[in-house]
Chains A and B, each alone.
Chain A
Amino acid sequence: MFILTWIPLQIWLAFSLVFALVYVATHFLHFIPIPVIKVYKVPLQIGSIVLFILNIFICGIVYNENSWQEKLKLEQEKYELAKQEQAKANEELDSTRKAKEEAIKDTSRQLREQNAKFIQVMKSKDATIENIINSFDQAAKAKYDALSAADRANYNSQLQSALTFEKNCPVVPELYINKLNNRAANPVKKDENK
């Protein structure tokens, strides 16, 4: 309520004190040498008591209002703080996710580039191990050079095996491709989906 926040508690307390003093003062009216004034004693006492009680009641309301406003203020502060914390946590989460996503996309892009070169060499008529190794990018070449003699021989044998396979089976059977495509395109088996 507007009036409860507009007039501070101290004013209401001061009013109460004034009415209490008025009530006390009525007991000393007989000291005033004006006879007519005694007529106002009872109305003044009743009025001051009623107004005193009313003021005390309003004091209670104002006090209650203030305490609720204080609680509300504290909650609002907590809410704002939580909001800021959430924004900060979201920022951290998103930056971590973005970094990971970039790394995944970058890896995919690099692999596809390497694969494109590899496929090109494999499809050429003069496909040899040397040609394949020459098609490597700098990082892959450095990795290859760093291999021990045994590991290099093993890797060369793998490449030779792939070359032989490619020569013998230049095209993957359509059945296998269809199987893979069906699985990639359909999350559930079509027959089970019906």
Chain B
Amino acid sequence: MKYITILSIFLAGCQNVTMGSPWPKIPSTTYLEPCKSLLLADKEKSMAELIDIIEANYGLWHECNLKNNSWIEWYNKHWKKEK
């Protein structure tokens, strides 16, 4: 009897057909590129040159931050709504 019960459970099959959402693709391969390394200052530099390098590094941070925020936005758009 228990085998019949188990068999009937398996034979009952799916009650619903649902394919869900397609697996989201990344918008472009740029998303997979790691952030650039920060620039290093050479010795014997003036303050103006050092500030230039620091400013350039801030720019790199903004680029990296944008990439990170884009991932978050992408996740919220495609994955978060599933839950």
Contacts and interface: CB of A to CB of B under 8 A. Distances in A.
Interface of A: 68, 71-72, 75-76, 78-79, 82-83, 86-87, 89-91, 93-94, 97, 100-101, 104-105, 107-108, 111-112, 115-116, 118-119, 122-123, 162, 165-166, 169-172, 174, 176-177, 180-181, 184-185
Contact of B41 (A75, A93, A177): A177
B78 to A, nearest CB: 6
Contacts of B74: 90, 93
B38 A184 contact: yes
Given A166-B47, A169-B47, A185-B38, A115 B55 contact: yes
A79 B49 contact: no
Contacts, number: 113
Contacts of B52: 112, 115-116, 119
Given A93-B27, A119-B49, A184-B40, A71 B66 contact: no
B50 A86 contact: no
Contacts of A165: 47
19 contacts: A71-B16, A72-B17, A79-B19, A79-B21, A83-B22, A86-B21, A87-B25, A90-B26, A97-B27, A97-B67, A107-B59, A111-B56, A112-B55, A115-B48, A119-B52, A177-B42, A181-B40, A181-B41, A184-B57
